[in-house]
Chains A and B, each alone.
Chain A
Amino acid sequence: MHFAIETQNLCRIYKIRGGKKTEPKELLALEDVNLQIRHGELFGLLGPNGAGKTTLIKILTTLLAPTSGSAIVAGFDVVKNPEKVRPRINMVSGGESSGYGLLTVRENLWMFSQFYGIPSNIANQRIKQLLDIVGLSDRINSKSSDLSTGLRQKMNVVRGFLTDPDVLFLDEPTLGLDVGASREIRHFIRKWIDDDQTRTLLLTTHYMVEADELCDRVAIINQGRVLACDTPATLKHRLQGEAIYRMEVSPLNGTNLQDFESIAGVHKVTHRAQDGFSILELILAQDDVISSVVNTMTAGNIHILNLQKREPTLEDVFVDLVGKSIEEMESDADIEST
């Protein structure tokens, strides 16, 4: 069976140069990534910042050479035949305001369509349709430098879909967009895939809801390794035998998370401090373990404000696999970098 995207033992190591006298450090960004993405599939890569998602997209879009392994996109090897891959793909990166500020929205989009050899009349028609869909048609003749970051991003999204590629790569497409705009874009992405089964879309995100809502299959990636790959339902089913609780409690006064983790039957605990209270997410072996958790809280003089049992989410799957939530990992990374 031919796949729209197929990678075999894909590795990427970055060499980070220090000073003149120090040896370059090596950073393993991808390690033995094996993925097979079918035609017509909306495939999600889910992971925290720095997990290797963007590196993988860069390799698949011919921007970056892998250190080892191979990758086939739209039937062609990205290293051996990049010029054959390029007419068949496109990419959109979120959270950036790219584009030629001196050109209007229409000129920017028209120019990119021409690089792909789309006849001008068809390109203009598509530009109008797509701008309508993302709610940008009233700014078609505005210089792109006059657009806000969010509107520029919408223009960028249109640029990606404009060429109607066989394989489209969306790298955090809703990053920096407001809730309404994100919803519109997500709706459009799903429709674009459903309208034509020959299209394939690889989406990276660190928004669990986005992956859950949109993707046919999801690969969870962390520190360059794919930890799990399946449909969102199947991934969540892994936790079906476990009990998942969300608790809002008074601030944890000196009570260490390890006090909870050491309770028999507690698999994972994550903690988020909020303004005046704390949120605990607990993955328990079974429901009756919650009584031991409550007892520990009472002993620690922690007040329970809210207790809720809920269905597993992709976030829980991530926590189960990695041991921390994406939010915790990113906040740890922020602390390390400062």
Chain B
Amino acid sequence: MRATSLKPFVRSFHLAAWLGWQIESNWADPFLFAIYSIIKPVSAAAILVVMYSVITHGNFAAPIFSYIYLGNAFYIFVGQVMTGISWAVIDDREHYKTMKYLYIAPVHFPTYLLGRGVARFIIAAFSVLITILFGVLFLKVQIDLTEVNWLLFFVSLMIGVIMLAMMGLILAGVLMLLVHHEFGIGDAIAGALYLFSGAVFPLEVLPTSLRWIGFVNPITYWLELLRRSLVGQVAQAFPTLSTLSNMQILIILITLSITFTIISGYCFRWCENLARERGLIDVVTNY
């Protein structure tokens, strides 16, 4: 029964994904869970729509609306994936008090945490789909299914989700070092990056001294590719990356994602070792 080769990785991921789904889906009965999963994203989108409507006097037919709406919709992945992975540290350590038993088991811990994020990813995917459907059906978001570049869409979606998972792993490492629980750290960081990702406004709006954050933020390129693949004809509505081709943006996204993967591997290992040295792996603050 000894652990060998890839088995611990596969096992860690598979079981963590199962556990994550049990936790995420079992807190309410299925009907309530389904209603919540629909109402939450639609409500979040409605806030943006109302603000847009007030500013533009209800000009939903403008190409920029689709661009903003889609950027906002896909941004749901950012908070959910990053939080899903990092929150597992707090949840297991403080709430379920199982962290030490998982940590001393033959589990590949980073893989376990990535697995715990799967449930949130599935829920986020459902939310994104609902939000886009709502936009297309009721708000004139212009997506022509025959014009969609599906290959580009799925390739960039996959790369982006991996990139977000790696960012979540960095956050998980940091959370291992925080003695006191931080409820909303995932959402807080996602919220901060929202301003620097071109999700709802171009980076040119930012002060020059802060603009560089948006340009080194891989989410900026990821959102751009997703929007171009779905509504390529209105890409010019956003000036930020208009001089770059799809391929150039994809290369930048891949490069930044690889960079983040390397950084997250080192960062997580460093944080884990430090947490072990400081005795924080199983610390319980009884919040």
Contact = CB atoms under 8 A, between A and B. Distances in A.
A95 B234 CA distance: 62
A83 B106 contact: yes
Interface in A86-110: 86-87, 89-91, 93, 96-103, 107
A107 B273 CA distance: 31
Interface in B223-241: none
B1 A111 contact: no
A229 B179 CA distance: 36
A98 B101 CA distance: 9
Interface in A59-75: 61-65
Nearest to B282: A63
B242 interface: no
Contact of A117 (B1, B98, B281): B1
A118 interface: yes
A99 B103 contact: no
A100 B277 CA distance: 27
B21 to A, nearest CB: 11
Contacts of B27: 102
Chain B interface size band reads 20 to 34
Contacts of A64: 276, 279, 281
Contacts of A159: 101
Contacts of B44: none
Interface in B1-48: 1-3, 7-8, 11-12, 15, 18-19, 22-23, 26-27
Chain A interface size band reads 20 to 34
Nearest to A61: B104
Contacts, number: 87
B104 A117 contact: no
B249 to A, nearest CB: 39
Contact of A86 (B11, B19, B106, B273): B106
Nearest to B14: A114
A99 B104 CA distance: 15
A277 interface: no
A107 B23 CA distance: 12
Given A98-B97, A102-B27, A89 B19 contact: no
A58 interface: yes
A4 B22 CA distance: 38
B3 A102 contact: no
Contacts of B273: 65
Contacts of B2: 87, 117
B102 interface: yes
B15 A99 contact: no
A280 to B, nearest CB: 39
Given A63-B281, A98-B101, A118 B106 contact: no
Indicate the member of A87, A118, A159 with the most B CB atoms within 10 Å: A87
B16 to A, nearest CB: 9
A86 B103 CA distance: 9
B276 A100 contact: no
Contact of A96 (B7, B97, B104, B277): B97
Contact of B106 (A91, A96, A115): A115
Interface of B: 1-3, 7-8, 11-12, 15, 18-19, 22-23, 26-27, 96-98, 100-107, 273, 276-279, 281-282
Given A87-B1, A100-B22, A112-B101, 17 more contacts: A63-B279, A64-B281, A65-B277, A86-B106, A91-B101, A91-B104, A93-B100, A100-B98, A102-B22, A102-B27, A115-B11, A115-B12, A115-B15, A115-B105, A116-B1, A117-B11, A163-B1
Q: Which 7 A-B pairs have the closest CB atoms?
A: A98-B97, A87-B106, A115-B105, A102-B26, A65-B277, A61-B104, A65-B276
